[in-house]
Amino acid sequence: MFFLSAVITFPLLGGLALLFFPRERVTALRWTALTLALVELVLVIVLILTYLQHTISIFSSSYLSESWSWLPSLGINYSLSVDGISLVLVALTALLTTVCIAASFRIERKIKNYMAFMLLLESGMLGVFLASNLFLFYIFWEVMLIPAYFLLGTWGGERRIYAALKFVIYTSVGSFLMLVGIIALGYYHQLAAGVNCGYTLELSQLLNTASSCRGVLGSDIQTWLLLAFAAAFAVKVPLIPFHSWLPDAYSEAPAPVTALLAGAMSKTGIYGFLRLCIPLFPQAVQTLAPLFNTLAVVGILYCAVLALTQTDLKRLLGYSSISHLGVIMLGLFSFNAQGMGGAVLQMVNHGITTAALFLLAGFLEYRTNTRRLSDYGGLAARIPWLAVAMGIAALSSLGLPGLNGFTGEFLSLLGVFRSNVTLGVLGTLVVVPAAWYMLRFFIGIMWGSPRQDGVVTASIRKGSLRDISWKEFWVVAPLLLFIFYIGIQPAFIAGVINPSLINTMQVLGNAFAR
Amino acid sequence: MTNLSLWVLVLPLLGFIILGLMGRFMPRTAILTIGWGACGLAFLLAAVNFINMLSTSAAQRSNDSVIYHWISAGTFSLDFGALLDPLSMTMLLVVTGVGLLIHIYSAGYMADDPGLWRFFAYLNFFIFAMVLLVIADTFLFLLVGWGLVGLASYLLIGFWYQRRSAVAAAQKAFVINIIGDLGLMLAIFLIFAQSGHLDYGSVLAHTFSGGTATAICLLLFVACAAKSAQLPLYMWLPDAMEGPTPVSALIHAATMVTAGVYLVARTSPLFEQSSVALAVVAGIGGVTALYAASIALVQLDIKRVLAYSTISQLGYMFMAEGVHNYAGGIFHLVTHAFFKALLFLGAGAIIHALGGEQDMRKMGGLWGRLRITGVTFLIGALAISGIIPLAGFWSKDEILGSVLAQATASGNVWYYVLWIIGIVTAGLTAFYMFRLFFGIFAGSYRGETATAAEHNAEVNEAKDENTLVTAAGHQHTVHIRYSAIHEVPRVMSTPLIILAVLSVVGGFIGSLALFGLPGWSPLTSFLPSGLHAHAADLPLGLAWISTGLSLLAGVLGIGLAWRFYGKGFGYKTQMQGNPLYQLVFHKYYVDEALNAVLVTPILALGRGLTRYLEGDVLDGGSRGISMVFHGSSAVIRRVQTGYMRNYALGILFGVVVIVVYYAMRG
């Protein structure tokens, strides 16, 4: 079967095809790119329906997996598979890419390359979520970096070069360490399993506990390998103190790119922890869990305090994003059903909410040409529907019960509390500053007395400060819909995630099913 | 028994959705039809269900129906269900009933506001959220309702969102309420970790170990203190008076702020497991009652007096619950809903008639102009002062009686102190209420004689804050001549009259044991027996002492108020020099202290971290590392000269080193 390959390569091929378009047919280029993303979304929906019919796990022989020999002597195969966890993330990626491409119609410069890079980025992320060979995973991991670098460096704001370089250097140091880790993992696995077993980087073989070729790694080796892998993932999430690239990158990139990076790409880091680190190095993960938990909990509170005082809209959202990702990390390292289930659910929620916030901030910036919070004030009367949309996204982000952000964070923190009360309490504390800075964000723009001078007033005088347009509305509408849907009825998505999670986590061997 | 509570929940939600999406384009009548209709039908259904409940036997008066499956993860599995039992029924009737009266009143009060549709949408949303809070059958959906009423409160406090003070008040209310939500969340985590359940049925039947029970109850009480404005989380409620007055009446007096009282009653089996937590509830309630009443003594804004009075009365309710008399707390909740809604709506009528004036110093003599408002306000004031036979007398008496009963039963001196606090507060309540009443209605009108300087100061202030205000409302105080003051329209006075009647007769749903009818206590026998069974009994003689003293305190308070303010409210300028007066007038400087101790340092920390740790250390660090590479590559680059002779020299040098090395090793 080629279906997973088709899902991954379709955006890539579509993007390449775009390059043959005549440059001046701007409108056609935009609509073609959007059509490609929509077709890809349909493919993903077909994938979801197929998956639901054949509920299967990543490790069992499955209808929805494929494997082609590539460099067998080096353990490198082209193999893909899908389970509930990767499925929801694939769906998130396809949805956000579509939305972000639709939000990019305002990009004027080099639109052809821009759209091609967006589609390439989508392929890279989908590959990461679907790869089941470590080397293939690494290739897709690097494939993500290239379009992200160009999108940031070419279409970004004034300090885009600095931001792009910083982003690339941080990420590539991490991924280099991961490459070393991958090669070493294969070596140590072979060493432990016996010479006859061959060198493999195939995830299913590395994890197959029933196989005679099972190599159990010593705990020292596990620890070093875990650290190597974690270097790549911690930068991507990011965990503090590896986050310094993020405020620059998020604030300099054009809004749809930021939305895609924050919404979807940050999930690849967490996915790496969940799909690779935890099952491959179960002992080391439990030994080092206090380290990751500490980084996560410090990051949660530290970034929340930072978000309180940011003066730049996108930087505020950026720090808020790191803070909320910390809750997901805590949930992941609680090693129980609520914590980890909530973490995966919250990956989806965070993606939707963060993307919505960045896109809406982008709509606003487009109208006023400023990101400074102090330039705004009292706009709700001028742009009431944009205010409503932004209010919903902000409430979702601060975790208002009844909206999507609450379901994921509640479950995660419940799991964290059960495994470690101190961490649970510290992690939950964040709801107070989170409400404070999100209200400061919303009130600072929409409420209060309107300013008498400044750029925003100038754009009001020019008449460029209009309420949300229909096009913009259709861009964010799906995201707002999911904000309500997952908040009110999370059982469906949780039902897709949980069986796969239990499969994956049996490796941990403790009372996961609690 | 049928359970119509889902419909009671859905109707206001539908009203909110319709008004929210289309209200902007609707004519006034359509807005009112939907807004009133949604709340009215909800009340009607609740009433029908109530009658149905009365006709079933007491054992079958609880109905818990599952609506849908919410989520499951491992052993955590949760359904959304609607629980209707006598306790939630009582709350439903208060919420939708008082809510309906306030919906009606608002049509008059907000008539000139261009945001009328928004106002009714928010009101309907509030009713939805409050009904959800009341009928939830799990702690999780209680939390959902808890959070959503907080949102409704935020939206309505900030209804005039271009006024700086309203926005600040809304933000403060939301953030302080989030502290309460935090307490509730942690309580839920602890409950689930210890019992493995979150539905009321299983959790309330579960026996927790002593320390755990105390921890759970105290965390729950953090949520109650935030929502019901008890010490030390009360600061948001006085500021919440920035919202339109009907909102103050509905949310910040009659219903939402009583959610904490409801929660303690709902979880009474847990509180029964922890005497420490109950003592905290009673103590905080008592201290808050006295503390807030003392601030109310000197406030000049009529809504602020009522706000502090609300905090104080909520303290009474917690006092009752702290001495096991949960039914007494609910009783006072009901009567308080009547007379406090009445007082707030009356205050709204006065503010409306005076064109937005809220300062007592510029009122006076209104008895002659506002007769309906005056009479109903007097009834409300008498009721809250605990004058027999009005509603407040019965419920306050019940509370003070059960505190004294607890004191005699336990012999603990602190309960006697609590009882004395209750009596003293009753006296203070009567005093500040009649100070308010005389200030508004007695003497002669002072609005016209406001000095020119004062007037100018206010105009300048208005210029600063509201110059570009587009949403209308009562922002601008218009000075109105005495002869131009008119009684409010029927749509506003009718709810006042209904509430006044309820404030007179509402007390008779309580016990009449004192007057020789020991079998008569409709509310207590309607509520589940667990809500009063644990309370100590009081001998009739002591009950008379308690009643007599509280009545005496009330009469004394009214008398003193008459003595000082009966001929009109004179603002005593010489008191401004008194430090004690200043302390109380500035509400004990709690807001200032909070800003200095908490808010400012956190913001300074954030700014400092952004500048130094994020900027200099992390960003600077990565720049530094790149500088090292940049510099070293600049040095190393020099080696690559491109001249063959340099490379040959290098090779020669290398060979020499290797040869020497091996030669030395031997």
Q: Do residues B532 and B624 both lie within one domain?
A: no
pLDDT, residue B461, reads: 47
Q: Do residues B491 and B368 both lie within one domain?
A: yes
Contact (CB<8Å) A436/B175: yes
* A290 vs B: CB within 8 A: no
* A401 vs B: CB within 8 A: yes
pLDDT, residue B450, reads: 53
SS3 content of chain A, % helix, strand, coil (to 5): 75, 5, 20
pLDDT, residue A511, reads: 39
Within a domain: B423: yes
* A436 vs B: CB within 8 A: yes
Q: What is the mean pLDDT of residues A217-239?
A: 90
Distance from CA of A169 to the nearest CA of B (A): 9
Exposed / middle / buried, residue B597 (Cβ in 10 Å: 0-12, 13-18, 19+): exposed
* A97 vs B: CB within 8 A: no
The rounded Cα B430 to chain-centroid distance in angstroms is 23
Within a domain: B220: no
Selecting from B68, B147, B469 the residue whose C-beta is nearest the C-beta of A402 gives: B147
Confidence of residue B154 (pLDDT cuts 50, 70, 90): very high
The rounded Cα A124 to chain-centroid distance in angstroms is 12
* B144 vs A: CB within 8 A: yes
Chain B partners within 8 Å of A498 (Cβ): 72-74
Give the chain A residue nearest B219 (alpha carbons).
A425
**ipTM for the complex shown:** 0.92
pLDDT, residue A169, reads: 87
**How many whole angstroms separate alpha carbon B447 and alpha carbon A192?**
92
Q: Do residues B417 and B515 both lie within one domain?
A: yes
* A494 vs B: CB within 8 A: yes
For residue A212, the SS3 value is coil
CB B342 within 8 A of CB B392: no
Within a domain: B68: no
Selecting from B73, B471, B614 the residue whose C-beta is nearest the C-beta of A342 gives: B73
Confidence of residue B449 (pLDDT cuts 50, 70, 90): low
Any idea which of A94-98, A184-188, A292-296, A354-358 has the lowest mean pLDDT? A184-188
Q: What is the mean pLDDT of residues B194-222?
A: 91
Among A residues 237-256, those touching chain B with beta carbons less than 8 Å apart: 241, 244-245, 247-248
- The alpha carbon torsion through A386, A387, A391, A394 (nearest 10 deg) reads 70
Selecting from B75, B145, B162 the residue whose C-beta is nearest the C-beta of A381 gives: B162
Tokens 């974690």 correspond to A230
Selecting from A400, A428, A432 the residue whose C-beta is nearest the C-beta of B147 gives: A400
Contact (CB<8Å) A378/B618: no
Q: What is the pLDDT of residues A18-49, one digit of tens each?
A: 989 888 888 999 999 999 999 999 999 999 98
pLDDT, residue B38, reads: 93
Q: Is the pLDDT of residue B472 over 90?
A: no
Tokens of B133: 């809070």
Q: How far is CA A512 from CA A332, A333, B52, in A?
A: 12, 12, 47
pLDDT, residue A485, reads: 95
What's the mean pLDDT when you consider all of chain B? 87
Interface contacts (A, B; CB < 8 Å): 159
Chain A partners within 8 Å of B192 (Cβ): 414, 418
pLDDT, residue B610, reads: 82
When computed from its CA atoms, the radius of gyration of chain B, rounded to whole angstroms, is 31
Q: Is the pLDDT of residue B620 over 80?
A: no
* B189 vs A: CB within 8 A: yes
Contact (CB<8Å) B622/A380: no
Contact (CB<8Å) A435/B186: no
Selecting from A338, A400, A425 the residue whose C-beta is nearest the C-beta of B76 gives: A338
Distance from CA of B169 to the nearest CA of A (A): 11
Q: Do residues B382 and B515 both lie within one domain?
A: yes
**How many whole angstroms separate alpha carbon B207 and alpha carbon A357?**
45
Q: Do residues B551 and B597 both lie within one domain?
A: no
Q: What is the mean pLDDT of residues B283-307?
A: 92
Q: What is the mean pLDDT of residues A200-227?
A: 82
Chain B partners within 8 Å of A244 (Cβ): 614, 618-619, 621-622
Tokens of A40: 């890809």
pLDDT, residue A139, reads: 94
Q: Is the pLDDT of residue B468 over 50?
A: no
Q: Is the pLDDT of residue B221 over 80?
A: yes
Selecting from B76, B158, B626 the residue whose C-beta is nearest the C-beta of A447 gives: B158
Q: Do residues B424 and B307 both lie within one domain?
A: yes
Contact (CB<8Å) B618/A241: yes
* A387 vs B: CB within 8 A: no
Selecting from A241, A342, A443 the residue whose C-beta is nearest the C-beta of B167 gives: A443
Q: What is the pLDDT of residues B521-567, one digit of tens each?
A: 888 888 888 888 888 888 888 888 889 999 999 999 999 988 888 77
Q: Is the pLDDT of residue A58 over 50?
A: no
Chain A partners within 8 Å of B628 (Cβ): none
SS3 for B479-531, per residue?
A: CCCHHHCCCCCHHHHHHHHHHHHHHHHHHHHCCEHHHCECCCCHHHHHCCHHH
pLDDT, residue A490, reads: 93
Tokens 């009109």 correspond to B568
Q: What is the mean pLDDT of residues A113-138?
A: 94
Chain B partners within 8 Å of A429 (Cβ): 182
Q: Do residues B317 and B438 both lie within one domain?
A: yes
A470: CB partners within 8 A, 6+ apart: none
pLDDT, residue B574, reads: 60
Confidence of residue B464 (pLDDT cuts 50, 70, 90): very low
Q: Do residues B489 and B625 both lie within one domain?
A: no
Q: Do residues B379 and B505 both lie within one domain?
A: yes
Selecting from B148, B167, B186 the residue whose C-beta is nearest the C-beta of A428 gives: B186
Run of H or E residues at A341: helix A337-368
Confidence of residue B599 (pLDDT cuts 50, 70, 90): confident
**How many whole angstroms separate alpha carbon B472 and alpha carbon B609?**
41
What's the mean pLDDT when you consider all of chain A? 89
Confidence of residue A209 (pLDDT cuts 50, 70, 90): low
Chain B partners within 8 Å of A295 (Cβ): none
* A514 vs B: CB within 8 A: yes
Q: What is the pLDDT of residues B222-245, one digit of tens each?
A: 999 999 999 889 989 999 998 899
Q: Do residues B338 and B439 both lie within one domain?
A: yes
Within a domain: B226: no
Q: Do residues B565 and B597 both lie within one domain?
A: no
Chain A partners within 8 Å of B74 (Cβ): 336-338, 341, 498, 512-514
Confidence of residue A178 (pLDDT cuts 50, 70, 90): very high
Q: How many folded domains does chain B comprise?
A: 2
Q: Is the pLDDT of residue B465 over 60?
A: no
Q: How many helices (H) and strands (E) does chain B have?
A: 27, 2
Any idea which of A40-49, A466-475, B343-352, B575-584 has the lowest mean pLDDT? B575-584
User: What is the domain range of residue B433?
Assistant: 274-454+482-572
pLDDT, residue B566, reads: 79
Confidence of residue A57 (pLDDT cuts 50, 70, 90): very low
pLDDT, residue B572, reads: 63
pLDDT, residue B601, reads: 85
CB A177 within 8 A of CB A231: yes
Q: Do residues B346 and B440 both lie within one domain?
A: yes
Contact (CB<8Å) A400/B610: no
Q: Which of A413, A443, A453, A480 to mutate to test the interface with B (most CBs of B within 10 A)?
A: A443
| Domain edge (last residue) among B510, B539, B572 | B572
Within a domain: B151: no
Within a domain: B295: yes
Within a domain: B399: yes
pLDDT, residue B471, reads: 35
Q: Is the pLDDT of residue B661 over 80?
A: yes
Tokens 């059509």 correspond to A35
Contact (CB<8Å) A513/B74: yes
Within a domain: B609: yes
Q: What is the pLDDT of residues B47-62, one digit of tens each?
A: 999 998 888 888 888 8
Confidence of residue A509 (pLDDT cuts 50, 70, 90): low
Q: What is the pLDDT of residues B503-520, one digit of tens each?
A: 999 888 887 777 777 777
Q: Which of A298, A447, A453, A492 to mutate to test the interface with B (most CBs of B within 10 A)?
A: A447
Q: What is the pLDDT of residues A316-372, one digit of tens each?
A: 999 999 999 999 999 999 888 899 999 999 999 999 999 999 999 999 998 888 888
Tokens of B538: 């009081």
Q: Is the pLDDT of residue A9 over 90?
A: yes
Q: Which of B25, B71, B160 to mutate to test the interface with A (most CBs of A within 10 A)?
A: B71
Q: Is the pLDDT of residue A514 over 50?
A: no
Any idea which of A349-353, B310-314, B318-322, B594-598 has the lowest mean pLDDT? B594-598
| Nearest one of A152, A166, A299 to A237, comparing CA atoms | A299
Q: Is the pLDDT of residue B453 over 50?
A: no
* A411 vs B: CB within 8 A: yes
Q: What is the pLDDT of residues B355-409, one digit of tens each?
A: 888 888 888 788 888 888 999 999 999 999 988 889 999 999 999 999 999 999 8
* B621 vs A: CB within 8 A: yes
In this structure, how many other beta carbons lie within 10 angstroms of the beta carbon of residue A20?
A: 7
